[in-house]
A = this chain, B = another copy of it.
């Protein structure tokens, strides 16, 4: 799988879209039915690449052809989505996949008897098809995704957007931090990154705690919170920072969600397997909270909470993933959760004193006390 460039310029994406159309026209010219081909995104074509350390698609392909009763509508829909994306790129305007759906509904509503699209669930997978077929991200097609996540630290970015250019200094964003956008590639340049590492903190409340203590300044790190599960933009930003050779450390709750957040950052996830190397950061390490912490920080013992079914189920599931069971530390962690039926929140580290959160992270880093 070829490594995508950091930034896919819109003219490159446009030529890819035009190439797609041209290839179809060529097929028509030689009397063949136009076809659309892309990698399968179904479970059977998702695999963990051990040497690369992330989840990606295999080589199984699907071909959609116009002259097939069962495929004709989906084929037309695919072409309609590609055509809209080309229009957005030409106009230099962005929208969401919901906005795309309404444009599709509006344009074709009168021209055909039957609606070409009646539900957004029809257009969404076609966007993913295009991403895979053209080897681009939907953000490159001027489609915004849900954005979430905040960053603070010695990171300066230049944001060319909507006809203006703004310089964003993530060390001067006060209590708020800089909100991570949907697209951190197109029109977004790193002016400077002056930091020793990246700290990813699951919860916004803990990020605010560390931001108030100016942890990122004292420790010279880039402080990120995905605010729970990380958005595409957030994962992509982490990947870009890792490309700058910054180590990435994740700090989450010791529970089902926390583990999921960490592993999604590290190896990518099943449903975004098609983005593979673009959003995975196999170099990431896990700082905590761990079950082992109860031994090192005995006050945590009385601040644990009972697991829920989802935590236990998730721990059992993780013990079936070979890329997780390859690490004995993780096996031990998960088995302890299953045995004790206890979990620990990051927030509990505020028990002794509010500033303890930073002390904890500092100590873990100094002792290189993290999980793989």
Interface residues, chain A, with chain B CB atoms under 8 Å away: 88, 91, 93-96, 98-99, 101-103, 105-106, 109, 144, 146-147, 150, 159, 161-164, 166-168, 172-183, 187, 204-205, 208-209, 211-214, 299, 302-303, 345, 347-348, 350-352, 354-355
Contacts and interface: CB of A to CB of B under 8 A. Distances in A.
Given A175-B162, A176-B179, A350 B103 contact: yes
B150 A175 contact: no
Nearest to A92: B212
B159 A166 contact: no
B162 A102 contact: no
Copies in the complex: 2
Given A95-B205, A176-B168, A351 B105 contact: yes
Interface pairs A-B: 8 shortest CB-CB: A159-B174, A106-B351, A96-B205, A166-B174, A99-B350, A161-B175, A176-B179, A162-B212
B176 A103 contact: no
Nearest to A302: B109
23 contacts: A91-B354, A93-B212, A95-B350, A96-B205, A96-B347, A98-B345, A101-B347, A102-B350, A105-B303, A106-B303, A106-B351, A109-B302, A146-B204, A147-B176, A147-B204, A159-B174, A162-B211, A166-B172, A167-B172, A168-B173, A168-B174, A174-B181, A182-B208
Contacts of A98: 205, 345, 347
Given A95-B354, A96-B347, A161-B212, 5 more contacts: A88-B354, A94-B209, A102-B351, A168-B176, A176-B180
A102 B103 CA distance: 50
A102 B179 contact: no
Contact of A105 (B94, B101, B302): B302
Nearest to A186: B175
A93 B355 contact: yes
Nearest to A205: B96
A213 B99 contact: no
A177 B348 CA distance: 32
A147 B148 CA distance: 12
Nearest to A167: B172
Nearest to A163: B214
Q: Chain B CB within 10 Å — which of A88, A166, A174, A303 has the most? A: A174
Contacts of A101: 347
A20 to B, nearest CB: 22
Contacts of A172: 166-167
A92 to B, nearest CB: 9
Given A105-B302, A180-B176, A302-B109, A213 B162 contact: yes
Contacts of A204: 146-147
B161 A102 contact: no
A99 B209 contact: yes
A178 B183 CA distance: 16
A169 to B, nearest CB: 9
A55 to B, nearest CB: 28
Contacts of A205: 95-96, 98-99, 144
Contacts of A168: 173-174, 176
Contact of A351 (B103, B211, B212): B103
A175 B205 CA distance: 24
A172 B156 CA distance: 13
Contacts of A166: 172-174
A354 B99 contact: yes
Given A144-B205, A162-B214, A163-B214, A102 B303 contact: yes
